[in-house]
Amino acid sequence: MRSAPRVSVIMAVRNGELYLDEAIRSVLDQTFTDFECIVVNDGSTDGTAAILERNERQDSRIRLLQSDGNGLVHALNQGWQLARGAYVARMDADDVSLPGRFAAQVRLMEERPEVGVCGGWIETFGMGAGEVRRYPTDADVIRSWLLFESVLAHPSVMIRREPFVTWGLFYDAAMLHAEDYDLWVRASQYTVLANVPEVLVRYRLHPQQVVRKHEMTKRETARRIRRRQLERLGIVPTADEDSLHESISSWDYAESREFVSAAHAWLLKLAEANRMTGVYPREPFQRTVAERWWTICAASTHLGLWALAVLRRSPLWDDMTVNWKQQLKFGVKCGIRKRQHA
């Protein structure tokens, strides 16, 4: 067997013939070339196997594993068992890695040995208009955001292999369709999480995506992950609080004074719980909570000057990083709403 590569790429695929060639080509065309690409064929019944076998013949860096169709988590963990590189890079069979992705991530991991997981920004394409998703890059902010949602794009991550194996940080099959979110939350208790502040992956949106087919299961699993984090803060949420936290986490804001007031009280409760427990770094957590409060208020300008008043009176105001232009725009919108309803 060849000497161990610097990077092991893990890709799992089931019936992915439509986009598979393009995804593999984006890996093989990386400017950083010291890698192996482990592709787990998870019980495909279409032309996936033939595509993989052809690519394996053409490039010796590709290693194929035939799996039994037990699902993504099982397939990814099988790939982990075969990985030999110092770093493990995830890749999905329907996305496209930009040519400099591995080089940028290896460079960050080499310069910052405390980082155990490194993601990057993504650009969507396919269904609907494309957008660049700029995830936070500060490690403490990333940890704080995890209370609400994952801010590491799964197909963009690179992971430091040896410590993850030592800590037993593999994908948990019980966290179906949110296995990555669960892994980042668990990993954040051991290591530093980071994002490269540039687009590394083009993320394809299409009707056949696993996350689209299993959206309800994903939401329920994510709810469990968030509830577990709340319990670390010493909070056992009531049914109403649990639903409220889900709405805030999924950006599903109700258009009423009652929701805004309840959300404000809940965010203050989170801030106080963290002040008492110290689960998250205080200042980054305060900024994260304040940012959520800002987005709730910004979505409530239809409530007129009342929304402006509750925003400015909040204890969270001092932790906001909203510039004067955003404040002015918000105030104007609130004033316009007031005049419309006068």
Q: Could you give the CA distance from residue 10 to residue 170 in angstroms, rounded to a whole number?
A: 13
- Determine the pLDDT at residue 342: 44
- Determine the pLDDT at residue 127: 86
Say if strands 96-97 and 132-133 run parallel, antiparallel, or are unpaired.
unpaired
- Determine the pLDDT at residue 207: 78
Question: Measured at the alpha carbon of residue 292, what is the angle toward residues 315 and 282, in degrees to the nearest 5?
Answer: 60
The token pair that represents 156 in the structure block? 């963009």
7-213 CATH, one of 3.90.550.10, 3.55.50.30, 3.90.400.10, 3.40.50.300: 3.90.550.10
Q: How many CA atoms lie within 13 A of 44 on its CB side?
A: 24
CB atoms within 10 A of CB 225: 22
Q: Could you give the CA distance from residue 217 to residue 178 in angstroms, rounded to a whole number?
A: 9
Q: Could you give the CA distance from residue 321 to residue 337 in angstroms, rounded to a whole number?
A: 25
CA dihedral 101, 53, 77, 140 (to 10 degrees): 10
Q: What are phi and psi of 274, to 5 degrees?
A: -70, -35
The reported pTM is: 0.94
83 and 161 in contact (C-beta within 8 Å)?
yes
Q: Could you give the CA distance from residue 339 to residue 322 in angstroms, rounded to a whole number?
A: 25
Q: Could you give the CA distance from residue 120 to residue 167 in angstroms, rounded to a whole number?
A: 24
Q: What are the average pLDDT values for consecutive 10-residue runs of the chain, which has 342 residues?
A: 89 96 98 98 96 97 93 95 97 97 98 98 90 96 98 98 95 95 97 98 84 82 97 97 97 96 98 97 97 96 94 94 92 78 46
In sequence order, what are the beta bridge partners of 12? 40
The token pair that represents 63 in the structure block? 């290693």
3-state secondary structure of 236: coil
| Domain positions in the chain | 7-213, 233-340
